[in-house]
Amino acid sequence: MIAAPILIGEDQLLSLVEKVIKQSEAEGVFVSLSTGEEALSRYSENQISQNISQTRFNLTITSYFGTRCASASTTDTDPEAIAQAVRRSEELARIAPEDPEWMPLLEVQVYEQRTPAFDEATAMLSPLERGKIVQAVCARSDRANVDGSGTLSTEVFLRAVGNSRGLRACSQGTVADFSFTARTGDGSSWSQRTAWAIDQLPIESLTEQLIERAARSKHPREVKPSIYPVVFDGAAFADLLSWVIWNLDARAADEGRSFMSRIDETSKPIGNLLGEAIFSPLVQVQRDAAHPLLQLGTFTSDGLSNGYLKIIEDGVPKNLSYSRYWAKQQGKEPTGSLTPIVMDGTNQSLANLIGQTERGILVSRAWYVRYVNPRSLVVTGMTRDGTFWIEDGQIAYPIKNLRFNQSLPEMLRDVDALSTVQRYGSSVVPGVRVQAFNFSSVTDSV
């Protein structure tokens, strides 16, 4: 029996991967292993409502026989349970249909020579310490006569992959996340921050900022739905930018299913728009797991390197996401996922962007974003938790929330100002001002 998952080190993790590969009787085998501990404190109405932690262990074995393959997983660390998962994946692979897009196992990869961020204080943060942080947030909310709710979470994780062709990769890291919603009457505000160390989270300053924003959001007025300039808080913009990056898929573009598709006069796809200036020249986006605010691992879940990659430079898409299969079909190098997303900002504050806006709308949160047209990447969604009218460079008054129907490529085309960057989840983005954003109706969302 191996040690409890949270106690496994990188050497032990790779040793376990090695043992699983040696057990395999398949023609080829790929092993993916993740383990760690997640802890979360949830609070609402200015008091802690949940304080939980869980230890994770997940081992997935994919067996290959010719062009047939199948996977089996286990969350049990017992050697017999692992052996059974190996046999199960082999049994399923033998009867699986042949895969027309089968690819051989990945060869040994070269990864960036760096160590992902690991913060011992975050890894060892006790429930009591976490509770004290949340208690301070709740007390501050209570003194301000607002209802505070949200989460504070920490995670320590280890991940490893390996295959029968000699591929081996392993990394560990920590992450902390804080979210806060302040409500008072018919006003509300929300935001969140993420960091690789608990002491990097701006918990006190963000709490104060959101309490003040909630107070200013009371008694919102109605404005006519129309096209307005918009200043996006970074948390709101992060949700919208991710939709664009997810849709920079080479195969979808080449097959005519993407906003990046090039279409001829008969509506047939004739390639993609890679290399064309379709966004604002201010838009600079990279995949950069080594960014100081991220410092994540060096490989993706399938074992490909997630090294630095230019995605958009001076408004020009430079790379699309190529799977190994589609890269082979097109004579390209596979890129893997384009995440984590990092977009360049400036040294301006969000207040600077507002101060440079004659009239427009401040959006704090983009909520319930969904496709309207995947081909053109038009989405719909709602503002929420603090939407304000800007007049003469000042926040003039709160407004009722609005539904938007917006082409996201056109949104990036109309970017004309950026603020400093912050980390939200696994993305690093700035606040952004957009010249024109389409609001289609007023909503009842708070």
d(CA 349, CA 342) in angstroms, rounded, equals 18
Domain boundary, last residue among 215, 245, 260: 215
- 35: domain CATH number? 3.30.2290.10
d(CA 82, CA 87) in angstroms, rounded, equals 9
Same domain, 176 and 246: no
The tally of domains found in the chain comes to 2
d(CA 76, CA 85) in angstroms, rounded, equals 10
The two structure tokens encoding residue 111: 């990864």
- Contacts of residue 359, defined as CB under 8 A and 6 or more positions apart, other chains included, come to 228, 229, 389, 390, 391, 392
The two structure tokens encoding residue 296: 């994540």
Same domain, 23 and 147: yes
Cis peptide before 202 (omega within 30 of 0): no
Same domain, 418 and 293: yes
d(CA 128, CA 126) in angstroms, rounded, equals 5
Same domain, 231 and 157: no
Same domain, 83 and 177: yes
Domain boundary, last residue among 194, 215, 236: 215
Same domain, 93 and 236: no
Same domain, 262 and 211: no
Same domain, 208 and 224: no
Neighbours of 15 (CB within 10 A): 14
Domain boundary, last residue among 148, 181, 215: 215
Buried b (16+ CB within 10 A) or exposed e, 162-195: bbbeebbbbbbbbbbbbbbbbbbeebbbbbbbbb
Closest CA to 280 of 320, 314, 243: 314
pLDDT tens-digit map of 191-206: 999 999 999 999 999 9
Buried b (16+ CB within 10 A) or exposed e, 92-127: bbeebeeeeeeeebbeebeeeeeebbbbeebbebee
Report the DSSP beta bridge partners of residue 441.
Answer: 403
- 68 alpha-carbon distance from chain centroid: 32
Give the residue numbers spanning the domain of 185: 5-215
Same domain, 175 and 256: no
Confidence (pLDDT) at 348: 98
Task: Give the pLDDT of the chain (446 residues) as one tens digit per residue.
Answer: 333 334 467 889 999 999 999 999 999 999 999 999 999 999 999 999 999 999 999 999 999 999 999 999 999 999 999 999 999 999 999 999 999 999 999 999 999 999 999 999 999 999 999 999 999 999 999 999 999 999 999 999 999 999 999 999 999 999 999 999 999 999 999 999 999 999 999 999 999 999 999 999 999 999 999 999 999 999 999 999 999 999 999 999 999 999 999 999 888 999 899 999 999 999 999 999 999 999 999 999 999 999 999 999 999 999 999 999 999 999 999 999 999 999 999 999 999 999 999 999 999 999 999 999 999 999 999 999 999 999 999 999 999 999 999 999 999 999 999 999 999 999 999 999 999 999 999 998 76
The pTM is what? 0.94
Same domain, 194 and 224: no
d(CA 134, CA 152) in angstroms, rounded, equals 7
3-state secondary structure of 64: strand
Q: Could you identify the residue written with the tokens 């304080």? A: 51
Confidence (pLDDT) at 15: 95
227-232 vs 359-363, strand pairing mode: parallel
Same domain, 119 and 64: yes
DSSP of 123-157: HT--HHHHHHHHHHHHHHHHHTT-EEEEEEEEEEE
Same domain, 87 and 130: yes
